[in-house]
Amino acid sequence: MALMETGKYSQGSLLGSVNPDLASERQTASFSVEKLTAWLDGGTEHTRLRRAVVEAIECDPVFSRENQYFESQNERYEAAVRKAVHLQKKMDEMGWTENGPEFKALSGDLAFLLHRIFTRSISMLGSDQQIAKWIPLATQYQLIGSYAQTELGHGTYLQGLETTAVFDITTQEFVLNTPNISAMKWWPGDMGRSATHTVVFAQLYVNGKCYGLHPFIVQIRSLQDHSLCPGITAGDIGPKMNFEHIDNGYLMLQNVRVPRENMLSKFCEVQPDGTYVRRGSQKINYFTMTTVRISLILDEVVIPLMKACTIAIRYSVVRRQSKLKPGEQEAKILDYQTQQEKLLPQLAAAYAFYFISDYLQELFDRGYREIQRKNFDMLPELHAFSSGFKAMVTQYSTSAVEICLRACGGHGYSLLSGLPSLYTKIVASCIYEGENTILFLQTARFLIKCFMAASTGQPVPPSVTYLAAVTPEKCPAKNKLDFLSPDIYTEAYQHMAARLINSTAAKLQDLVQSGVKKHDAWNQCTVQLAQAAKAHCHYITVKNFAETVEKLETQPGIQKIMKHLCDLFALHGIFSNAGVFLHDGYISGAQMDMVTASYLDLLAVIRKDAVPLVDAFDFTDKTLNSALGSYDGQVYQRLYEWAQKSPTNKQISPAYERYLKPLLHKTLSKL
């Protein structure tokens, strides 16, 4: 297995031989890890391919991340550029494609991610001529692109962006300006230091009339010496919680002129005489964001969550603390119910979200095919789903990774655990590509609309027909085992989601009928609306998990453990949101006790397979880059050896000579 081969360390070290505490966990697996991995990958061939790429990358010293935690912002940035450049070379050599698995193998520690978004937005929003002109240049890295949308003063609320692009009919150019400080582009990746070009989103003005936001290709740095172009002010926005390797930038435009052909014009165009022509829905301009939202769920959220679970669960069987029985050895901390209750629901969520990302990808592919045929009917649903699931999955996973971090106690706080950087990275996903609360409200708007339509008998997309369905008023469960039936809990979720959407819609109507203005009524219901949208996404996730398990008939060994995880995910959700299930008496107090009992029983069942379940994610040690989570479980040895390599131990600290010595020797007053 690829995993085993990566753990090669110096002779005489324990590293490489598996800690017996981890080895014993693997002997009792109730299923074949290899089979589960293959199933997750979509077949053994995919697994083989993925491992080959990962190995090719990890055996290349340029891609080493061993010193990552010790590096400064400048060093991280330089390393990221170095790796991105090297990757291009490697891709040419190996014949890899742009959308292949190699990016994931590098764990995102690369520059030029925005270059890909730049390329993607030109492919999607550009005319055929624009694609023919720019894509080869971008692919050949004759230019480096970025994507400049967010401004200092505005993010998710795109209509509020203030950058302007005024059409000058005499020169056939657009004149771009940053009219005030809050209009400065702020945050775009790769823009602070690297990019030569960027797609700027600006309010288009033709003959004094504003046509709203449009994308423009703007050159910002010289292709010769990389100096800033005239009229451009750009730089790095300074240190952040993470992404030190990326030069998120600012950009100020002063009368910057670009030719008419630089407005991306697949869907809208300004003709030479200033006539504005629109083809299709204007919403299509936001389509890039929908795409990005769906793809980020897997790459930027689910995979980091899987890594965090791997690290925390492996560490929890190596760490022994206190005694469960007098006279016995200290217990593995994963044997404590409280530790299981922290980690195992997060593991179940990682699987649940992995499956929901598949579901969304399918929905998206279907929608994209339609859009190619200029049929925009699926856009609202696609937009609502990508928004809501992006919000739910990022919010849930962020807190899940933080739970994993804190579940590792003090050592989790060391950067060498790998957990802080996973957390600070995943937490950004709650904001970028749309702030979560606003995204939930967008989904809510769609749901309320569908609810209104469904209740008057009009057709709605299949995913929301449940809003009009009639469900029993009481949960039929009689004992705790009944709660292990997917029908029982899926129906409970459905009932709960429908009730929340229903009651919020009713409240909105009441307010409007009592004379409150529509927008005020909306604001007064937003807390409830966001909750309803979240409930909808939670329900779909549970339902999709249950359906995924059902389809596993041909693989009984895997199906059984997946069923346990599905049950755990569902019951954990009921247990932790008891109020909304109890509220209208759908689940009774006595039934809630059954849920709790079944939920706690499941923890002990899944505990036995916890390590095999994270092994199946098949991360190499180098990918995890964690002293606590490595495959061999030699946690303490690795932590000790790695810490000794810290620059603080290698360099002589100037602080001693300058300050400590005078302090110790009482000569400080001379300072």
Interactions with other proteins, residue window 521-580 (CB under 8 A): 523-528, 530, 577-580
Q: Which residue, 144 or 484, has its beta carbon nearer to other proteins? A: 144
641 is catalytic: no
Site for other proteins in 371-410 (CB under 8 A): 402, 406, 409-410
- Least distance in Å: CB of 507 to other proteins? 9
Q: Does residue 9 belong to the site contacting other proteins (CB under 8 A)?
A: no
Residue 163 CB, nearest approach to other proteins (Å)? 15
CB of 24 to other proteins, least distance (A): 18
Q: Any contact of residue 10 with other proteins (CB under 8 A)?
A: no
The pair phi, psi for residue 627, each rounded to 5°, is -70, -25
Q: Which two tokens mark 504?
A: 């919020």
Binding window for other proteins (CB under 8 A); candidates: 49-57, 100-108, 178-186, 532-540: 178-186
Sign of CA dihedral 567, 572, 574, 580: negative
Instruction: Give the residue with the Cβ less far from other proteins, 184 or 294.
Output: 184
Q: Can you spell out the DSSP letters for 126-162?
A: S-HHHHHHHHHHHHTTSS---EE--BSS-SS-GGG--
Of 126, 189, 192, 304, the residue at the interface with other proteins (CB under 8 A) is 192
Are 461 and 468 in contact by the 8 Å Cβ rule? The answer is: no
Nearest C-alpha neighbor of 628 from the set 399, 332, 331, 418: 418
Under rule CB under 8 A, residue 516 binds other proteins:
no
Q: Which of 25, 244, 433, 491 is catalytic?
A: 433
State phi, psi for 234 to the nearest 5 degrees. -150, 155
Does position 78 bind other proteins by CB under 8 A? Answer: yes
Picking from 175, 177, 202, 188, the residue whose alpha carbon sits closest to that of residue 235 is 188
150 marked among binding-site residues: yes
Cα–Cα dist 409/466, whole Å: 43
| Helices marked H in 514-646 | 518-524, 526-550, 556-576, 578-582, 589-607, 610-615, 621-624, 635-644
Shortest distance (Å) from residue 217 CB to other proteins: 18
Report DSSP state, residue 374. T
Residue number with CB closer to other proteins (7 or 188) = 188
Rounded Cα gap, residues 38 and 132, in angstroms: 39
- For residue 230, which amino acid is it? P
* 441 interacts with other proteins by CB under 8 A: yes
Which range of residues in 38-46, 169-177, 307-315, 515-523 is near other proteins by CB under 8 A?
Answer: 515-523
Closest contact distance (angstroms) between CB of 332 and other proteins is 12
Residue 441's closest CA among 527, 519, 507, 541? Answer: 527
Return the ∠ at Cα 88 (arms to 86 and 89), rounded to 5°. 65
Q: Under the criterion CB under 8 A, does residue 338 sit at the interface with other proteins?
A: yes
Among residues 519, 553, 554, 556, the one that binds other proteins under rule CB under 8 A: 519
Token representation of residue 155: 């993010």
Q: Nearest 5°: phi and psi at 475?
A: -70, 130
Residue from 10, 99, 140, 554 binding other proteins (CB under 8 A)? 140
**Which 454-493 residues touch other proteins, going by CB under 8 A?**
none
- Interacting residue with other proteins among 91, 415, 453, 468 (CB under 8 A): 415
The owner of tokens 């479980």 is 633
Based on the shown chain and the rule CB under 8 A, indicate whether residue 69 belongs to the binding site for other proteins.
yes
- Residue 335 tokens, joined: 């044997």
Amino acid at 598: S
In whole angstroms, the minimum distance from the beta carbon of 369 to other proteins comes to 33
42: alpha, beta or left, given left = phi > 0 and alpha = psi -120 to 50?
left
Q: Which residues pair with 199 in a beta bridge?
A: 147, 217
Task: Find out whether 403 and 342 touch, Cβ atoms under 8 Å.
Answer: yes
Q: Binding other proteins by CB under 8 A: which of 7, 145, 155, 388? A: 155
Q: Which of 20, 42, 179, 239 is in the footprint of other proteins by CB under 8 A?
A: 239
Three-class SS state of 110: coil
- C-beta of 129 vs 321, nearer to other proteins: 321
User: Considering beta carbons, is residue 175 or 333 the nearer one to other proteins?
Assistant: 333
The amino acid sitting at 90 is K
Q: Answer yes or no: are the C-beta atoms of 249 and 236 closer than 8 Å.
A: yes
The footprint of other proteins on residues 255-314 (CB under 8 A) is none
Other C-beta atoms closer than 10 Å to the C-beta of 14 total 15
The DSSP 8-state label assigned to residue 180 in this structure reads: S
Residue of the chain from 427, 464, 488, 549 that contacts other proteins (CB under 8 A): 427
Counting contacts by CB under 8 A, is residue 671 touching other proteins? yes
Determine if residue 100 is labeled as part of a ligand binding site.
no
- Residue 98 binds to other proteins (criterion: CB under 8 A): no
Question: Which 609-648 positions form the footprint of other proteins (CB under 8 A)?
Answer: 636-637, 639-640, 642-648
Give the whole-angstrom CA distance, residue 501 versus residue 493. 12
Q: Which of residues 208-227 bind other proteins (CB under 8 A)?
A: 223, 225-227
Q: Which stretch binds other proteins (CB under 8 A): 27-35, 97-105, 156-164, 541-549?
A: 156-164
582 binding other proteins? (CB under 8 A): yes
Q: Is position 17 an interface residue for other proteins (rule: CB under 8 A)?
A: no
Figure out which of the listed residues 110, 184, 292, 535 binds other proteins, where binding follows CB under 8 A.
Answer: 184
Catalytic residues: 433
Task: Cite the annotated binding site by residue number.
Answer: 150, 189
Task: Cite the annotated binding site for FAD by residue number.
Answer: 150, 189
